Amino acid sequence: MKLFDVYPINDITVVKAKGSYVWDQEGQQYLDLYGGHAVISIGHTHPHYVQRITDQLNKVGFYSNSIHIPLQEELAEKLGRISGRPDYRLFLCNSGAEANENALKLASFHNGRKKVVAFSKSFHGRTSLAVAATDNPAIVAPVNQTDNVVSLPFNDEAALEEYFAAHGGETSSVIVEGIQGVGGINEASAGFLQAISRLCKKYNAAFIADSVQCGYGRSGKFFSQDYAGVDADIYTMAKGMGNGFPVAGIIIAPQLQARHGMLGTTFGGNHLACAAALAVLEVIEQERLIANAAEVGGYLMDELRKIPQLKRVRGKGLMIGFDLPEHLKELRKNLLFGQRIFTGEAKPNTIRLLPSLALRKKDADAFLEAIQEEIHAMEGAAPAVK
């Protein structure tokens, strides 16, 4: 049997990882500024994380949600406190798509409505309704297509007001990334998020803050939507929640009521997942990683803006994007194979940086030196660009 070929693969095999670095099978070291799609939040193989999971595995690795699992309650308490939302409640699942799927479903249960508002360049996952709310027709199968999702322009308050004036009474929820990841590091303005919050309250729709990629401290606040001073009805999270262990969840405002059977999962909130998620929160708190993300991310963006070839440097904390001119479109590949630095991309010519929240200033400096060296080499070989 061979693998189902759906991923473009770099010819690199990672066999060891520590902190912000990984090593391939030939012993070559790489600086990891992508963290496997924003997943590595506290650094690869953090010793506290490894110990937490190992200790739990030696006790019990799994049992279903048909029994009492105190680790879930411990996780809920710590997550509520660190996120600043102790009165919310937690439902645990396994992936970002699942988190968004459950959030959309819960909103519809809450108000009995069907319509979902999403936005241009959004990405919410690859499952049923989550992919229907994703602005990429190439990954929406015919069976996923629905008239229940309306896509509006991102950051367009007037279009949002106009839509709600006409359809507010039939709208179940609005789902929005505080900073779009796959869409190219596009930040929702404070005014836009405040308008969503106000209109959802007015029309009894649920405000779903997709924080799968931009949450868990990556932006320099726990949720990137916090920069707007708003409280969503449901926050979805995954990526950095488990530092590589599959764990996800939604936290739910008090006015949305639970009942037995409305949501469910076999693996969500299992013992190992909770141990991993608790380790992440413990390290984030003990090592002040949210403050580090804000500080090192701010420094990195300031320095990147000094490089004239890089356009529209943007983001918050350690969720950073910048655009490349056409003659530098191979920069990401050259950074990987020439400088041994992992970065991400967004089509057509955007580089995304999503490193560990524990990224050190000296690692940021190493990247800044490498990117300038690579640009200089590429422009030396390139024809003059007007």
The torsion angles phi and psi of 269, rounded to 5 degrees, stand at 75, 20
> Model's pTM, two decimal places?
0.96
Mean pLDDT of the chain: 97
Q: Which alpha helices (H) appear in the chain, and where do they start and end? A: 35-38, 47-57, 70-83, 96-111, 128-132, 157-167, 190-203, 271-286, 289-304, 331-338, 361-381
HEC readout, 344-361 = EEECCCEEEECCCCCCCH
Please tell me the predicted confidence (pLDDT) of residue 186. 97
Q: Are strands 319-323 and 311-316 parallel, antiparallel or unpaired?
A: antiparallel
Q: How confident is the model at residue 135 (pLDDT cuts 50, 70, 90)?
A: very high
Q: What is the DSSP letter of 31?
A: E
CA 108 to chain centre: 23
Cβ(228)–Cβ(328) below 8 Å: no
> Is 382 a residue whose pLDDT tops 70?
no
As a whole-number percent, the residues of the chain with pLDDT over 90 amount to: 98
pLDDT tens profile 159-208: 999 999 999 999 999 999 999 999 999 999 999 999 999 999 999 999 99
Q: Is the pLDDT of residue 386 over 80?
A: no
The tokens for 21 are 């670095």
Please report which helix (H) or strand (E) contains residue 156, including its range: none
How buried is 143 (Cβ within 10 angstroms: 0-12 exposed, 13-18 middle, 19+ buried)? exposed
Sorted by sequence, the CB contacts under 8 Å of residue 214 that are 6+ apart come out as: 177, 178, 179, 181, 223, 224, 316, 319
The letter for the amino acid at 93 is C
pLDDT at 37: 95
SS3 221: coil
Q: How many C-beta neighbours within 10 Å does residue 84 have?
A: 12
Go through the domains of the chain in sequence order and give each one's CATH number: 14-42+291-381 (3.90.1150.10), 47-286 (3.40.640.10)
Over residues 217-238, mean pLDDT: 98
Residue-wise pLDDT tens digits, 269-300: 999 999 999 999 999 999 999 999 999 999 99
